[in-house]
Amino acid sequence: MPSRDLPANVKSIVAEIETEIGEEDSANGLSAALTPAAAIEGDGATRAGTGTGNRRLEAAVRGILREIGEDPDREGLRGTPGRVHRMYAELTAGYHVDPERLINGAVYDVDYSEMVVVKEIPFYSLCEHHLLPFFGTAAVAYIPKGRVIGLSKIPRIVEMYARRLQVQERLTQQVADFLQARLGPGGTGVVIEATHLCAVMRGIRKPGTVMTTSHVLGLFRTSEKTRAEFFAHLARQAPGT
């Protein structure tokens, strides 16, 4: 069970991922009505949380600023260590999401066995190698065996894993494995396309570079016809585009 001793801004993001509008959220003391705007009100201690770990993180940021030749005490940088701490807490809030609360019973018995595809799911994540963002879209598909999951849960699953330190290959695999384990479908397929700032801002510095990863299980792996149907869905434009 993830810890609930979190700063208000992180609690807000976790609640947003875990709960639907109108769901009761009293079991673990999180307020489903807490909005990101409300979470950032109040003093710095409330926003960032308290504790020795937080002080260490902010001291580390001050050390980085000095190392690159900056003065962490100048006006523009004085609040930067606290801001960086809050930022990383928010961008890694996925570590604190409880999968059971995310699913919240939204798996239904439905007599349906054709492919379900949810695509163009936007996400933002942090590359664990350089702590720089990578971002793009995910497409998720599965073949039900009498059980389907609520539509909004699929983007939430992507968000749960994206808000962690990641590599794109593992993110792709985790989303597919989660659905396969929770639903027991005939198969699951996930394709992610993303731009990595570590390749755009540094290193090879090639703007426009896009990385594509896929992970397929069950029929998506064993049946060429199923796999071809999945990729055909991805090639179709969404209505209104």
Write out the catalytic residue numbers. Answer: 127-130, 168, 196, 198
| CA dist., res. 195 & res. 57, Å (int) | 28
For 20, other C-beta atoms within 10 Å of its C-beta total 13
Dihedral sign for Cα 234, 237, 164, 26, please: negative
In 3D, which of 57, 63, 62, 66 has the Cα closest to residue 87? 57
d(CA 83, CA 88): 9
Q: Which two tokens stand for residue 238?
A: 């969404």
Taking the C-alpha atoms of residue 59 and residue 143, their distance in angstroms, rounded to an integer, is: 50
Count Cβ atoms below 10 Å from residue 117 Cβ, excluding itself: 16
Residue 227 CB neighbour total at 10 angstroms: 18
Cβ burial, residue 187 (10 Å; 0-12/13-18/19+): buried
CA angle 167, 50, 79 (to 5 degrees): 75
Unique residue bearing structure tokens 């260490």? 56
Q: Under the phi-then-psi rule, with left for phi > 0, alpha for psi from -120 to 50, and beta for the rest, what region is 7?
A: beta
